[in-house]
Amino acid sequence: MAFLGMRGTGDWVTDQVPESWEEFIMREYPNGSAPLYAMQSMFREENVDSVDYHWWTKTLPTKAGDITNVYIDSGLATPYVYASHQSTYGIATAIVYVKLAAALVVEFKDTHLVLLRDSDQLLVDVRGEVKDVVVDGANSYIAVKLIEDDDNHGTSSSYNLATVDRVLIYSSAVPQGSVPPAAVAYDPTKYDGLVQEFRDVLDLTDIARATHLRTGDAYDEAKLELLDTHSQDIENTAFWGKAYDTSGDNGKRLTMTGGIFNFVADNAPANVLDYLTDTGSDYAGKTWLQAGKKWLNTYFMQLGRYGENEVICFTGDAALLGINDLAEAYGDIQLKVSQQDYGIKVTTWIIPGLTVHFKTHPLFSHETTNQNTMVLLHPKNVKFSPLVGGGLNLRTSFETDMQIPGQHSKVDGFYTVGGWKFYFPNQFMVMRNVGKDNTA
For residues 99 and 200, state if they share a domain: no
pLDDT digits (tens, 9 = 90+) for 254-264: 999 999 999 99
Number of domains in the chain: 2
pLDDT band, very low/low/confident/very high, at 11 (cuts 50, 70, 90): very low
Containing structural domain, residue 128: 64-172
pLDDT digits (tens, 9 = 90+) for 269-318: 999 999 999 999 999 999 999 999 999 999 999 998 887 788 999 999 99
Say if 392 falls within a structural domain.
Answer: no
The pLDDT of residue 12 is above 60: no
For residues 88 and 199, state if they share a domain: no
pTM value is: 0.80
For residues 70 and 50, state if they share a domain: no
pLDDT for residue 153: 94
pLDDT band, very low/low/confident/very high, at 9 (cuts 50, 70, 90): very low
Strands (E) located in 259-403:
272-274, 310-315, 335-339, 345-351, 354-360, 374-377, 382-386, 388-389, 392-393, 397-399
For residues 155 and 199, state if they share a domain: no
Cα–Cα distances (Å) from 391 to 19, 388, 416, in that order, read 20, 8, 16
For residues 27 and 91, state if they share a domain: no
Better pLDDT: 106 or 32? 106
The pLDDT of residue 4 is above 70: no
pLDDT digits (tens, 9 = 90+) for 182-200: 777 777 889 999 999 999 9
For residues 100 and 133, state if they share a domain: yes
pLDDT for residue 33: 67
Coil, strand or helix at 114: strand
The pLDDT of residue 210 is above 80: no
- Determine the Cα–Cα distance for residues 362 and 370; give it in Å rounded to an integer: 10
pLDDT averaged over every residue in the chain: 88
Contact indicator for 212, 433 with CB cutoff of 8 Å: no
Q: Which residues does 188 contact at the CB level (< 8 Å), separation at least 6?
A: 56, 57, 58
